């Protein structure tokens, strides 16, 4: 069992951040976050998640038109906003990341496997996004994940090649405790789980 | 920053488990796992993930026909196999879990929102599955997630009502260190990330 401080930091006392203290997020922190997140398991080590960290004013302005009103202010103010995306061409990396069986790439190739690639990319790219949220918290920063934005607009602006698709956004920084909302109720074990 | 022991347990030294020591997983451990996992963030607190923990011989036998050969032996031997699923009717819970705005339920209701519910359920249900993997590790157990099974067969057997869909499976127990495979390479920061 990890200690209570870690359980609190990652789960029990961790909260979605909606406001930010004036402290930067460094390259080194982003690399630490990715190093941790990248260790999470994905099917056949496919690792389809892709992360674009928007930190400069220019990059944030490119995102602005895609944000819904409720997410605009906090996102523009966040030290970094990550676009959590997935690569539909993840199989091109398999000879490198699944080196003992490079022919695994072929099982995902071609138009006949497009639907399979989509399913694998969404599922495992989303797992990668959750690992990112946990890794942000693990390095002592706050995360503000959100789905309220125009995915197609983000894709046109940041992924014009068409093979990478946005999934969700996640603000990153030192959260302002004053802006945290109250904890919303969780489903009980009985409501969400069964033991058979 | 959480301490190195916790970073190791969750990310750096955590490994997918393929074999199991002869130690049971208790109800109390499953409840601890869910308590932690349930704290992870989901869009509008939708919490669409559902978990069916298969522990009895009878329940495992119901799963057996859906398993691919490569996942059969380790899964039948695992102390518990979780079916990580998502509820396409998650919005029915919103008046309870988003109580300050119960009308949120209406924005997901009806046939005209079926595609939106699917997207939200898959994304946030998969986030919930990743939180489960991390929570299993957080309580000191080993996780063995896998996608190699017949989702439709699992759905027919365990979710005949048709509104809950299987996503992936995750074996749970005390892993056998002798059965762990070598760590496969991860994409570098430069391969998976950009800072703009």
Look at A196 and B146 and tell me if their CB atoms are within 8 Å: no
| ipTM for the assembly | 0.98
- pLDDT, one tens digit per residue, over B85-102 is 999 999 999 999 999 998
Q: Residue A193 — very low, low, confident or very high, per pLDDT cuts 50/70/90?
A: very high
Contact of B17 with B137, CB cutoff 8 Å: no
- pLDDT, one tens digit per residue, over A69-82 is 999 999 999 999 99
Joined tokens for residue A80: 């970094």
**Average pLDDT score over residue span B175-196:** 97
- All residues of chain A having their beta carbon less than 8 Å from the beta carbon of residue B56 are 196
Instruction: Give A22→chain B minimum CA distance, Å.
Output: 19
The residues, ordered by sequence, that sit 6+ positions from A80 with a Cβ below 8 Å of its Cβ are A25, A30, A53, A54, A55, A171, A172, A173
Contact of A98 with A44, CB cutoff 8 Å: yes
- pLDDT, one tens digit per residue, over A83-118 is 999 999 999 999 999 999 989 999 999 999 999 999
- pLDDT, one tens digit per residue, over B116-159 is 999 999 999 999 999 999 999 999 999 999 999 999 999 999 99
Residue A21, pLDDT score: 98
- All residues of chain B having their beta carbon less than 8 Å from the beta carbon of residue A37 are 11
- pLDDT, one tens digit per residue, over A16-38 is 999 999 999 999 999 999 999 99
B33 touches chain A (CB under 8 A): no
Contact of A123 with B133, CB cutoff 8 Å: no
Q: Residue A183 — very low, low, confident or very high, per pLDDT cuts 50/70/90?
A: very high
Look at A193 and B50 and tell me if their CB atoms are within 8 Å: yes
Residue A25, pLDDT score: 98
B77 touches chain A (CB under 8 A): no
pTM for the model: 0.98
**Average pLDDT score over residue span B14-38:** 98
């Amino acid at each position: 069992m990890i200690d209570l401080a870690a359980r609190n930091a990652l789960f029990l006392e961790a909260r979605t951040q909606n406001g930010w203290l004036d402290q930067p997020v460094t390259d080194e922190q982003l690399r630490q976050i990715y190093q941790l997140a990248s260790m999470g398991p994905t099917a056949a080590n496919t690792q389809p998640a892709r992360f674009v960290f928007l930190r400069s004013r220019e990059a944030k302005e490119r995102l602005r038109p895609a944000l819904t009103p409720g997410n605009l202010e906090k996102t523009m103010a966040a030290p970094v906003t990550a676009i959590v995306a997935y690569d539909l061409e993840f199989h091109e990396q398999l000879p490198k990341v699944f080196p003992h069986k490079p022919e695994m790439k072929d099982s995902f190739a071609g138009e006949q496997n497009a639907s399979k690639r989509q399913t694998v990319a969404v599922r495992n790219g989303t797992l990668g996004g959750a690992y990112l949220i946990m890794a942000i918290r693990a390095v002592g920063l706050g995360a503000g994940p959100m789905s309220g934005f125009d995915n197609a607009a983000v894709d046109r602006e940041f992924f014009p090649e068409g093979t990478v698709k946005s999934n969700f956004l996640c603000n990153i920084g030192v959260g302002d405790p004053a802006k945290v909302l109250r904890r919303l109720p969780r489903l009980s074990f009985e409501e969400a789980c069964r033991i058979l």
